[in-house]
Structure 1
Amino acid sequence: MGQLRRGGALAAVLGLLLAATASAPAVAGTDADYRNPVSAGFADTFADPVVLRGDDGYWYAYGTTDPLREGERQFHRVPTARSADLVDWQYVGDAFGADQRPPYAAPGAGFWAPDVRRIGDRYVMYVTVTDTTVSPEGSDFAIGAATAPTPTGPWTFVDEPVVAPRPGGGGGWLWTIDPSQFTDVDGTSYLYYGSYYGGISVTELSPDGLRAVGQPTLVAIDNKFEGGYVLRHDGWYYLFASTANCCAGPATGYSVHVGRSRSPRGPFVDRDGIPLTASRAGGTPVLTQNGNRWIGTGHNGFLTDLSGQDWIVYHALDRADPYLDEPFGINERPMLLDRLDWIGGWPTVNAGAGPSDGERPAPVTTGRVDERFDAGLAGWRGTGDWRVADGRLTGSGALTSRTTVGGDVRAETDLRLTGAEAAGLTLGGRVEVRVDAAAGRLVARDGGRTASAALPPGHRLTDRHNLAVEVRGRQLVAELSPARLGDQLATVALRLDRPVPGRLGLTATGGAAEFDNVSLARLHRPARHAVPEPRAGALLTGWSDEFTDGLDPAWSWVRPDPSATVSGGALRWPTQAADLVGTGNTASVLLRDAPAGDYLVETKVTLDLGEETVRNYQQAGLVAYVDDDRFARLAQVAIWNTRQVEYGYELPFAGQPVYGGNIVGTPATTTWLRLAHRVDPVTGEHEFRAGSSRDGEHWTWGGVWTFPADTTPRIGLVAHGGAQPPVTAAFDYLRFHR
């Protein structure tokens, strides 16, 4: 989105926080390395990025309207970059000229959060139009569309919005932003859009992808999610969505969460089975800050490299350089790229280690067979009638590459059935995967073994599609998709009779087919296990308090609150009509010293905030506290109609306090909260990672906030955010573990 503002021992911790050296499989088929941010060669900021592979085999990235460089101060209208390897990028221009806008856009409108897809025989860009002629008051966002014959244009706006501005029930205009398109296996095209004011919705699109049809469905609650992106994996639909503030400078805690469903319309639920539409909304963390330089990791796109490894593209902020120019101006959000792993049916970045900072194995973008047909048919042999023109192969018959790749492999081609009854790929001269136009099916065959899946009825196979085939051992999986973005039209799986030699072939029967971007690469080695999460070791009884006999004398107050009492084995504290955020600093904090070195601290807090109703911003939980202008607060909190576990952070910056938040799991009436503390052995910084639980056994771990090495954070409890309606927080204990 754009920059909207709205009011055992802890060895496991070490394993998770050192993201740059996290244990993970090397990417198959490449010796190259890269490091984030990948946009550094052409841009200091490149927010809300998405990437797709073009017909020419290059990768194209698109970003939101912002200046690209510090000091430039020129706003680019969907800046576009191109790369051959996903690592080295070159700026190739803006999608839209200075005076180019759709008829319904107001002068000076910006274009945020583009999503570019192949639909039929052209590219379609969906984009947020930030200001329209519907209302003179502004903020009347709409989703627009533009079409082009190539990834770099020329782009032509469609005259009418795909989704027009929507009036909000509470006044103003719903945030109709952050579009993302998805094509289902039945050929139906969908658009996801929305943000904090109004939530994320999905609507069906017309076959050309340019008009919303039917009634939209809410798939993620308002006041928690935006930047939706859906892909299909192993029969599940996964909704990736960003949460918290995108643009709070050095306190930005933006992160990506996910839910999954058996339908593109939801309901999407997280790993704990909690819907993303509930007041106590679910969401399993996919990507969050880990204590290195990157914070505010969010608004993702998706891609798959030639080895079959999935990757996530997103923006983040360098906490040491969070603004493009002046403080509190445009947030500097470069484009990052990291490996997306699937462990236990759920996506996670770098096996759970989070954003990388340092050398990492690069994506595979060149296969052992890597054919663009720029040099005729050198390296191929076979029979039939074939011709090469304009970098594409067209014909019928059978061709086989002279190159062999051993072991597990992934083969791909971009394919058009210009007249063929069937066309596809062969492996080892024995296994065939073909698109059968006559039968309307994707078919895999190994001798007498076959498997097939129906293609969408009436689907035009004369349009360009991507056919990908993976063989791991004796298991084959093939998929046909419009553009390799997780939106398969058909998927088949076949158990092979025996392992297949890795020699690639092309075949077309009953007429001509067009092939391009043919590749054969070693298949990636998937991550099987996530990096360890923090665990509680030995209890440090001398540092802990069970609240069984009054308040331990080790506690001290910042601004005492006489209403906080100990009774019945709990600290009972009515939420105060006060807060720590900003310059007011009227709230109380109950503090005690923390042990030296690494530790984990936990509390169990009961706070009945109800559901659905507005009770801003009643909360209670843990705090790591240096002073009133530098603290990290982990609390279950009422935020408008939602109930969230917010891990907020305030620090002094450029002469004033700055506050932002990170979201960690879903609260219950009784919620367990943890902070895992680690001292960075290189910088001496204090790193606090937050976790929450609804039962005290199963934990969701979120982001890390850091404190300077020369500070001494203490640990405390807070109960803030308002007295109406009255509610009392009950803390069962505060326990430290080594």
Structure 2
Amino acid sequence: MGHLHRGGVLAAVLGLVLATTASAPAVAGSGPDRYPNPVSAGFADTFADPVVVRGDDGLWYAYGTSDPLREGEKQAHRVPTARSADLVDWTYVGDALAADQRPSWAAPGAAFWAPDVRRVGDHWVMYVTVTDTGVSADTFDTAIGAATAPTPTGPWTFADEPVVAPRPGGGGGYLWTIDPSQFTDVDGRHYLYFGSYYGGISVTELSADGLRAVGAPTLVAVDNKFEGSYVLRHEGWYYLFASTANCCAGPATGYSVQVGRARGPRGPFVDRDGLRLDASRAGGTPVLTQNGNRWIGTGHNGFLTDLSGQDWIVYHAIDRADPYLDEPFGINERPMLLDRLDWIDGWPTVNAGAGPSEGPRPAPVTTARLDERFDSPALTRWRADDDSWQVADGRLTRTGALTSRTAFDGDVRAEADLRLTGADAAGLRLGRVDVRIDGDRLVAREAGGATASVPLPAGFDPADRHNLAVEVRGRQLVAELSPARLGDQLAVVTLRLTHPVAGPLTLLAEGGTAEFDNVSAARLYRPARQAVAPPTAGPLLPAWSDEFDDGFDPAWRWVRQDPAATVRDGALRWPVESADLVGTGNTAGVLLHDAPSGDYVAETKVTLDLGEETVRNYQQAGMVAYVDDDRFARLSQVAIWNTRQVEYGYELPFAGQPVYGGNIVGTPATTTWLRLAHHVDAATGEHEFRAGSSRDGVHWTWGGVWTFPADTTPRIGLVAHGGAEPPVTAEFDYLRFHR
């Protein structure tokens, strides 16, 4: 989303991270071997809410939210656009929208946030948030607009009406109709996902041209937890990526990405534990979150696949040492980052769970051993059956067979952009295997072996440009046909081969002309198979722990003692106070315990009956790593409006005042287990606290890392506060320390 704050409504949120670095699978190809984040540094200090597409010219295009690009610039760009040949070195190529260009229904001062660019039919469509439509005096009566263009660089022309119009909220104002993301399903139907904290994330079907919403929308993710959605299809599952928490809390930003999956585009989406994303106790499996390095607020993602078949996530983040573009508490500085997206046991995770990268990393594969853009009319790298093949306007056309002079063997990914301008069938041949669009089907056939095929969607137009990608790993072939390589396949066919693939790549067109472009064949990526290990609790440290067997242990110390808190029958019972720690009030009690030196894991088990659905802001109970009232990390199960979340909030002093943000770590039950894993960074001496939560004390979800300066001595404490109505008592079973 844009640089909007929701104030106290979202006490912040997040969901996964590791302080360890995962080893990267080897990749093949030329271009830069390694790259550092942020990849937008060459043209922008901030480039929020990024998405990336590969254009018809074989280059990559990135789009961002309308902010200034550089410190001191002060003037917001209107959907800034950048171009790259290798996904690493980017050049600003202008704004998508001219200074006086806006849809007829937009207010003069409207901003444009969170663009999503897709190919629909024979043109490109940009879906974008329009922040002020002028339908009311409210300056945030948001809507989703759509603009079409013949190329990814425009010129863009807005549709006459919003795709999704402003939606009045039942509680006043307008629902946050922002953060659009389009998806095309295997049946050819187009969908648009949109929404944010006020109103939740919904999906609506679109008209065939992608410019109008049709039918009734479906809520797929609960309000007050998610925004910034992105949906893709992987191995038959539909994955909804969504960001949690406040995007823009400066040095306390804990934005992150979580995911759920479903068997259809309308859900229900559930996380790894089977918890729905549209429930009051909303699920969400962590994909990306801060890990204690330079980057915090890692969220609002896009998706892309390189020429080796490796998936990547593009997102924005905040440098915790440089959180604002200019003055403190102004525009948050959110550059564009790129990291490897791995699929392990059916779930996506960044860098095998290690989180955002800071130092040099293996770069994406953007050129290949066979890499043909047809920029020259000479076909010196090819052998033709006859002279019917011609190159014009950077594309290859005509009929017959054209075979590369480059041969390959082993695991491979081959792809081409393809149009059937008159051919009955056209596609690729890899050695002895043909994969082609043939009439109304996508067909894979091995010479002397088996054949497999799947139907193409009703209404499929072979004259529109599509991407055909074929991957062979061992003797397993998977072919995908998609509009533009963005995880929204129109058809997927699989075939078990009798022989390994070896030989050249051949372009095929039968019965008429076909058009080919951006043809490549690269060594297939090597997938990560194992995630980085999460923290574990080692031996118990009895001398530091308290089971609450016999009154308060003498090791406890109070900050603002609450006489209502008592220890009896093996538990600490603490009525939730009408008080808080956030900001300058500092009225809540904190029960503190010294912590052992070095690395350790602190754990508590807390029971707190917050019910569901009803608003009980912000009753909570849990654990805290505490230096003083203006520097602490609070891990608690909490009621945030209608939701129940495990929030890992952080407050620190910055520019003369306390700043609070947070991230989300799993889903609470009435009884929830909480952990803080403490690690001292050997290089900086900083204290790193990574948060974990569990609904059963056995299976843990690990979230983000908050850091404390090396010259501080954080203690571990317990808290129960946020609101006294209705009365509720938190019950703590113990505080344990493990080495």
TM-score calculated relative to the size of structure 1 = 0.98
Aligned mates of 1:16, 1:576 — CA distance in 2: 31
CA contact (8 A) 1:268 1:275 kept: yes
Q: Is 2:422 the partner of 1:419?
A: yes
Aligned mates of 1:599, 1:447 — CA distance in 2: 61
Who is 1:405 aligned against?
408
CA contact (8 A) 1:16 1:531 kept: no
Who is 1:34 aligned against?
35
Who is 2:383 aligned against?
381
Q: CA RMSD in A?
A: 1.0
For residues 383-414 of structure 1, what are the alpha-carbon distances to aligned partners after superposition, in whole Å with 9 as ceiling and x for unaligned?
A: 14211111110011111111123321000000
Superposed displacement of residue 16, structure 1 = 7.2
Who is 1:644 aligned against?
645
Secondary structure of the equivalent of 2:506? strand
Who is 1:139 aligned against?
140
Who is 2:434 aligned against?
432
Who is 2:317 aligned against?
316
Q: Is 2:484 the partner of 1:483?
A: yes
Amino acid paired to 1:404:
A
Aligned mates of 2:445, 2:3 — CA distance in 1: 48
CA contact (8 A) 2:307 2:365 kept: yes
CA contact (8 A) 1:53 1:59 kept: yes
Superposed displacement of residue 448, structure 1 = 3.0
Aligned mates of 1:27, 1:654 — CA distance in 2: 44
CA contact (8 A) 2:25 2:527 kept: yes
Alignment size in residue pairs? 728
Who is 1:269 aligned against?
270
Q: 1:324 to 1:392 in 2, by over 3 A?
A: same
Who is 1:65 aligned against?
66
Who is 1:305 aligned against?
306
Which structure 2 residues correspond to residues 326-725 of structure 1 after superposition, within 5 A? 326-375=327-376, 376-384=378-386, 385-428=388-431, 430-437=432-439, 439-725=440-726
Aligned mates of 1:447, 1:421 — CA distance in 2: 23
Who is 1:10 aligned against?
none
Aligned mates of 2:646, 2:458 — CA distance in 1: 45
Amino acid paired to 1:390:
D
For residues 60-104 of structure 1, what are the alpha-carbon distances to aligned partners after superposition, in whole Å with 9 as ceiling and x for unaligned?
A: 000001000000001100000000000000000001111110011
Amino acid paired to 2:78:
R
Aligned mates of 2:262, 2:311 — CA distance in 1: 20
For residues 537-567 of structure 1, what are the alpha-carbon distances to aligned partners after superposition, in whole Å with 9 as ceiling and x for unaligned?
A: 0000000000011111100000000000011
Aligned mates of 1:108, 1:361 — CA distance in 2: 42
Superposed displacement of residue 498, structure 1 = 1.0
Superposed displacement of residue 442, structure 1 = 3.8
Q: Is 2:49 the partner of 1:48?
A: yes
Which structure 2 residues correspond to residues 220-231 of structure 1 after superposition, within 5 A? 220-231=221-232
Amino acid paired to 2:141:
D
For residues 357-408 of structure 1, what are the alpha-carbon distances to aligned partners after superposition, in whole Å with 9 as ceiling and x for unaligned?
A: 0000000000100001122211100214211111110011111111123321
Secondary structure of the equivalent of 2:251? helix
CA contact (8 A) 2:29 2:366 kept: no
Q: 1:671 to 1:319 in 2, by over 3 A?
A: same
Aligned mates of 1:99, 1:423 — CA distance in 2: 44
Amino acid paired to 1:264:
P
Q: 1:90 to 1:404 in 2, by over 3 A?
A: same
For residues 230-253 of structure 1, what are the alpha-carbon distances to aligned partners after superposition, in whole Å with 9 as ceiling and x for unaligned?
A: 000000000000000000000000
Amino acid paired to 1:109:
A
Aligned mates of 2:714, 2:210 — CA distance in 1: 53
Gaps of 5+ in 1: 8-14
For residues 337-362 of structure 1, what are the alpha-carbon distances to aligned partners after superposition, in whole Å with 9 as ceiling and x for unaligned?
A: 00000000000000000000000000
Aligned mates of 2:214, 2:503 — CA distance in 1: 45
For residues 274-316 of structure 1, what are the alpha-carbon distances to aligned partners after superposition, in whole Å with 9 as ceiling and x for unaligned?
A: 0000100000000000000000000000000000000000000
CA contact (8 A) 1:409 1:521 kept: yes
Aligned mates of 2:459, 2:215 — CA distance in 1: 21
Aligned mates of 1:724, 1:458 — CA distance in 2: 57
Aligned mates of 1:538, 1:502 — CA distance in 2: 57
CA contact (8 A) 2:444 2:495 kept: no
Aligned mates of 1:410, 1:256 — CA distance in 2: 29
CA contact (8 A) 1:603 1:732 kept: yes
Amino acid paired to 2:404:
S
Aligned mates of 2:100, 2:166 — CA distance in 1: 22
Secondary structure of the equivalent of 1:542? helix
Superposed displacement of residue 18, structure 1 = 4.1
Amino acid paired to 2:25:
P
CA contact (8 A) 2:289 2:298 kept: yes
Secondary structure of the equivalent of 1:405? strand
Superposed displacement of residue 568, structure 1 = 1.4
Q: Is 2:23 the partner of 1:23?
A: yes
Aligned mates of 2:714, 2:154 — CA distance in 1: 53
Who is 1:78 aligned against?
79
Who is 1:278 aligned against?
279
Amino acid paired to 1:24:
A
Secondary structure of the equivalent of 1:329? coil
CA contact (8 A) 2:400 2:509 kept: yes
After TM superposition, what 4+ stretches of structure 1 lie above 3 angstroms from structure 2? Answer: 15-19, 28-31, 439-446
Q: 1:587 to 1:18 in 2, by over 3 A?
A: closer
CA contact (8 A) 1:407 1:502 kept: no
TM-score calculated relative to the size of structure 2 = 0.98
Superposed displacement of residue 445, structure 1 = 3.5
Superposed displacement of residue 502, structure 1 = 4.5
Aligned mates of 1:164, 1:16 — CA distance in 2: 37
CA contact (8 A) 1:611 1:643 kept: yes
Secondary structure of the equivalent of 2:409? coil
CA contact (8 A) 1:647 1:661 kept: yes
CA contact (8 A) 2:292 2:706 kept: yes
Superposed displacement of residue 446, structure 1 = 4.1
Who is 1:11 aligned against?
none
Superposed displacement of residue 136, structure 1 = 1.4
Amino acid paired to 1:356:
S
Superposed displacement of residue 25, structure 1 = 1.4
Secondary structure of the equivalent of 2:314? strand
Amino acid paired to 2:410:
G
CA contact (8 A) 1:420 1:513 kept: yes
User: Percent sequence identity over matched residues?
Assistant: 82
Q: 1:67 to 1:612 in 2, by over 3 A?
A: same
CA contact (8 A) 1:431 1:447 kept: no
Amino acid paired to 2:228:
G
Aligned mates of 1:631, 1:566 — CA distance in 2: 25
CA contact (8 A) 2:34 2:360 kept: yes
Aligned mates of 2:674, 2:701 — CA distance in 1: 10
CA contact (8 A) 2:421 2:463 kept: yes
CA contact (8 A) 1:442 1:490 kept: no
CA contact (8 A) 1:16 1:353 kept: yes
For residues 605-644 of structure 1, what are the alpha-carbon distances to aligned partners after superposition, in whole Å with 9 as ceiling and x for unaligned?
A: 0000000000000000010000000000000000000000
Aligned mates of 1:79, 1:615 — CA distance in 2: 41
Aligned mates of 2:17, 2:74 — CA distance in 1: 38
Superposed displacement of residue 5, structure 1 = 1.1
Superposed displacement of residue 146, structure 1 = 0.3
Gaps of 5+ in 2: 9-15
